[in-house]
Each structure stands twice: as structure tokens, then as C-alpha cells.
Structure 1
Amino acid sequence: MSAGGPAVALVHPGDIATPSGGYAYDRRILDGLSALGFAIRPLRLDGGFPLPSQSEIAAALATLAAAPPGTVLLADGLALGALPAEGLKALGRPIVALVHHPLALERGLDAATADRLLASERGALSVAKAVIAVSPETRRMLVTRYGVPAERITLALPGTAPAPRAAADGIPARLIAVGSLTPRKGYDILLDALDSLADLDWSLTIVGSPAFDPPTAAAVARRAAGFDGRIRLAGALDTAALDAAYGAADILVHPSLYEGYGMALAEALKRGLPIVATTGGAAGETVPDGAGLKVPPGDAPALAAALRTLLIAPHLRRRMADAAFAAGTALPDWPQTCATIGRVLSAVRP
């Protein structure tokens, strides 16, 4: 498939080792496309993405312009969406956009900033020769809100790596939540829900980097300290430590307000963990019916009620664990995801 194909630069903002689902996806496809024989390399853009200054935008465009002629720029939307369409056109390089989560939908933005990002993203996506979306929800959003023609979009769900099944039978139940400590992940809602579950036995491990939004991370830490040691903030974990954390858990709780896909949800399904999740964005689709309980985003009482249901009903938890594991076996693996992206890249020509 890749023989004689184009050279590819995977364009990403900042450190590609950053602990988040989007960067993990980028690392996987970088390795997977290389294994398929693509001449691919990472191309880092520095600056305050997704809200770079004008000087940082100029520097980023200069970095992209230095790529050899004919190089396909496979550009993570976290960087691409903040760059001006005219500057991207002037590069003379074919662009394939990789969209995990539209920038304008991030929580905590004021209306003016969200509108500016929406306009910038629309312009940048109009320049792309092809667009890769990581979920059906993101694909729909790109068509309806961003005006991207459906025929230019390819769906490439995140892959899942082989993983042992979790026992998911602990008493008291061990909850796990996975996601960076940012407003969109809804940890304040989760802690509100847990306030009403003090009469039950449970523990919670929160896995996620505090570096993306220090004020939110500090607020979560302050509130978690009031739960008498029942909540542990594990921070960002490497692959082995995260695998161990999943293996020790009984229920995944995912209170996110919006997800472009929800890689933690797929990882939980792969391990047979029952799930309590919101329906924010793609999350409701990522978790199939029967594999967990789903509640509206931002609804602490509903989240508390769903958690209580699973905490007091081990038989229901086991049934949902079986359904989760069955769903996890049907998820794509990373070689399948990379092959899908590889076909898009092979079809792109300068």
C-alpha cells in the first residue's frame, strides 16, 4: 500500500509525549504508519496552541514551509485549527487534517474565543485535501457545523491494544476515572455525585495529568482531600502503570461534558469494565447499551444514581462487565486504524 507513497510529516503542537488521548493516538499512528512502510516523521510546532500568538503562528507556518516539497502534512487539529487558511494555502503542501475534538467545543472558552476558533477551524479545514475524524460524532459535527463535505471525511476510530480482562468484582468496588484534569472532563460533577454516596463503600482513583489546567487540577485536589482518603489522584501514568490501574478497577466512571470519542471508554470496554458515563458528544455512542449506565452530561444527581445502582448490585455489574468485554472484542486494533489512515495518505497527491 505504501510503496512509492508520499513522504508524510505528522504535524503536532508541543511534545508528542504529552499524556492525553489525542497525543496517544498520534504516537500510535506515527509508529503504525512507519511499520507499514511510510516515510513519516513527527513535525513539532511550538507555541501556545490552540491559542497561539501572531508571532507563534508565523513561526509555525515557517516550520511547515520548510518541509520538503510534496510532503503530505498530516496535521493534528489541535494545531491546524489555529492556523490561518491563507497561510496554509501558501505552503503548497497537501494537507490531511486529523480531528480528535473541534477546538471551538472546548469547555471554558468565552463566546468571542469560541467564535474565533470556529472561524479559524472552518478556514483551515477548507484547505485540507482530506479529513480524518476519530468518531461518528466528530464526523457529523464536521459536516453540520464546519461545512466539510462528507465525501472528504474518513472515519478512523482509535485502535485498542490487547489487554487482559479485569476481574471487576471487588467489594468494596474500586472506581477509576481516566482523563486530564480539565473543565471538560467534569470532575467537579463527579465529586458532587460522590458527596451523596458517602453511605456506601467505594474508592476512586483518578488518572490524569494536572498540567493542562492547573486551577482546575488544584480545585479537584482540594475537594478530593475532603473524602478521607477514599480518592487518590494518580496523575499521568505510563502505559504499564495505566494497565495496572485498569486491572485493579471494578467500574470506570466517565463524567465528561463532551468527548470527540473517549479513548478511556474503549480501553475500559477492552478490559471488560462496566461503565458509568455521560452521553456528552461521542461518549454515548462509544459505550454500547448494556455495557454500562449512561446519564446526561453535567447532571450530578443522575450520575450519583447510576453509580449507586452499580455499587449496590454486583449481579448487574457482572452482567454489564460481560457486555463490555464482548463489545471490546469488536473494537478495531491499531493496525486497522493505521491501515485506514494509510489509504487516505496514499490517495493524496500534491
Structure 2
Amino acid sequence: MLDGARVAFVVDGALDQPTGGYLYDRLVIEGLRARGCDVDVVNLDVRGPLASLRENTRLLRLLAPRAYDVVIIDELCHPRAAFAAALRARSSASPRLVTLLHHLAASERTGVSAKLRLALERTLLTASDHVVVTSETTARVAIAAGIAPDRITVVHPGRDRLGARAAPPARTRGAPVRLLFLGALTPRKDPLALLEAFPAVAARAVLTLAGPADRDPLYAARVLAAASRYGTRVRVTGALTDAALADELGAHDVLVLPSRYEGYGIVLAEAASHGLAIVSCDAGAIPEVVRHGEEALLVPPGDPRALEGALVRVVQDEHHLDAMQRAALRRAATLPTWADTQDAFCRAVFPTSR
């Protein structure tokens, strides 16, 4: 137990945002508190240069000697956290600084924007005493950015937040195959590619799009307009509660996630735990979570024709779909639970407690 350890956990904006990164943050915070830590959640909110200066000053106070035992910064804060981390005074009484890296934001950009982001991210990571990453893929990216391997710990997300099933979802032979997209309606998740590929299977499948539409409203409007062309064959739910998400997983046959990049992909592990076959992309850490040719078909990102071919295969071959669903349950049994994640995260943050 870590009774009395004082922890500041710094996040970008509100902690209750419906993304995999914030979900990870919330659950590891629960784990820290359950193990005796006194955790203060610090929400950064930067609007304009004066606010940015204020929040950097606030971070420097958190990092001052004897303020906390550990300060954990979610790397999503890097534009404003990097300078405070670099300027902090180091002493034997200074808090241990741990950065939680879901994936480098620079990985989603190109050109000058990517170089600027990488410089800021490298500043934060270099100033940290330790870096926790959520996948082996992100660990390799951090090492390529100049972070020593012995300063990195991989702590994979869990799979059982929404429960698990002993058998795949019940399916009536000959009924439409039920496809499910779970994720924000954003370019990185690429639901437009799915809607572009959907006509190839629309006669034998139905599709549900579930996820928030407020991350990129202009892109989401294009998604909603494209979905409306299919009438009742495509259903849009918006953001869902955890209970509703579990119900959707139990009512579908295939998870389709055509993401162009994932730092891990918690939804993939959750879908496997419910016995769903998976169609996704060979991008980021996705191949770490699910295996191509077993429970998943992984296609090149941004390739609607390849995505179309994978959809046709799972929709038209019920025996292959059955085999993928059974493989999904076997795969899920090998992935960590959230209790495993919380234990591993605590060991990374407090190495002397091992």
C-alpha cells in the first residue's frame, strides 16, 4: 500500500472526457486512491497567452520541493507543461515527475507542425524522471525521440471495464450482420472511410455509429450527412454511457475501427472481451492488441477498397465470422484487466514500493 503518498495528476481540461486516454487516466487515478494515495486532479485550461503563463506558473508550484511526492502529467498537456517541466528546480525534496504518454501528438501531424510538436513533447519527456507508455509501439517511438529505454515503462490498458462474455453475441443465421463503430467522429478514427466502403455490404449488413460528434464538428457533420444516405441501414447514437456501450457490444457481431493511428485502442480489447470479430487498420499499436488473420482483419489505413474487401469477407462468410469471434474471446483472455493495469502503473510511479 502507498498510504499517505501525495500525488498531483495533471490533465488537459476536464477528466470526464469520453476518450480512451481520459478513461485510462480516470481508472489509474482510481487505482492510486484505492492503494492509499492522496491524489489531487489538476485540470489545465489554457485560453490565450496570459492563461498559458498562468498555468505554467501553476505547474511550477506543483513541481516545487515538498509540494508533492509525485507529479504525473498526461502528455496531452505538453504545449503548456513542457516549459514548466524544463524549468523546475531539482533537489532531493523535489517531486518525482512522471509523464504518461498515450502516443506522441506529433505522430498525427506532418511538416513544420509535426516538428514543433515533437520538440515540445521531447522537452517534456526529457525533463521527466520516468515515462509511462500504454503500448510497446509508443515505447519505440519515445526511444526514437531520444528517451532512454530504462526510463520507460509499458503499462497496457485493461479490457474488462464493460464486462466480458463467455460466448460471442447471439446471431440469427441469415440475418444482417451487425457492424459497430465505436469512437469519436474525427478524421483519425476515419468513419467516413467506413461509410464509403459500406455499400459493398449494405444489402447484408447494418451499421451503428456510436461516439461523440463534438470533437471536430465540421468533420462530424460530413459523417452524419453520409450516414443519412443509407436510411435505416445506418444508425447513429451519439456518445453513450458505459452501460449503453456494453449493451451495444452485446448486440453486434463485428467492431469496425478504421483508425489511421491508435496509441493502443482500448475499444478493441473491450470488443474482443465481448466476442466481436474486428475489422481495423494496421496502424500504431493496433496489431499489439488484436492479431491479423485470427480475431481481426487489419488493412492499410486510409484505403477504402481494402476496408471494403475486409467487410465483404466477414459479412459473406459466416463460418469465418464464427471463427474470428471465437478467436476474439481467446485473445481477450490473454490481455490485462484494469486491476493488472492499476498494479503495474503504481509500480512504475513508485518503484521503491515493489
Structure 2 length-normalised TM: 0.91
- Residue 267 of structure 1 corresponds to which residue in structure 2? 270
Q: Pick which of 287-296 and 119-128 moved more.
A: 287-296
Go from structure 1 to structure 2 and tell me whether the alpha carbon gap of 1:14 and 1:254 turns closer, same or farther (over 3 Å shift). Answer: same
Secondary structure of the residue that 1:306 maps to in structure 2? helix
Structure 1 vs Structure 2 CA RMSD: 1.8
CA contact (8 A) 1:83 1:124 kept: no
Distance (Å, rounded) in 1 between the aligned partners of 2:213 and 2:97? 32
Taking the TM superposition and a 5 Å limit, the aligned residue runs for 1:66-215 are 66-67=61-62, 69-79=67-77, 81-83=78-80, 85-92=82-89, 93-106=95-108, 109=109, 111-144=111-144, 146-161=145-160, 162-164=163-165, 165-167=167-169, 169-170=171-172, 171-198=175-202, 200-215=203-218
- Residue 344 of structure 1 corresponds to which residue in structure 2? 348
Taking the TM superposition and a 5 Å limit, the aligned residue runs for 1:8-87 are 8-47=7-46, 53-67=48-62, 69-79=67-77, 81-83=78-80, 85-87=82-84
CA shift, 1:167, in A, is: 1.2
CA contact (8 A) 1:257 1:298 kept: yes
CA contact (8 A) 2:60 2:84 kept: no
CA contact (8 A) 1:278 1:294 kept: yes
Distance (Å, rounded) in 1 between the aligned partners of 2:190 and 2:246? 23
Structure 1 length-normalised TM: 0.92
Q: Letter of the 1:129 partner, please give it.
A: D
CA shift, 1:110, in A, is: 5.8
Taking the TM superposition and a 5 Å limit, the aligned residue runs for 1:225-240 are 225-240=228-243
Task: Name which structure has the greater RCO, CA cutoff 8 Å, separation 6+.
Answer: 1
Taking the TM superposition and a 5 Å limit, the aligned residue runs for 1:232-311 are 232-289=235-292, 290-311=294-315
Unaligned runs of 5+ in 2: 90-94
Distance (Å, rounded) in 1 between the aligned partners of 2:51 and 2:238? 29
CA shift, 1:328, in A, is: 0.4
Matched residue pairs, number?
339
CA shift, 1:236, in A, is: 1.1
Distance (Å, rounded) in 2 between the aligned partners of 1:167 and 1:189? 25
Distance (Å, rounded) in 1 between the aligned partners of 2:281 and 2:187? 14
Q: Letter of the 1:240 partner, please give it.
A: A
Deviations 1:98-130 (A, max 9, x none): 011211122xx4622222111100111000100
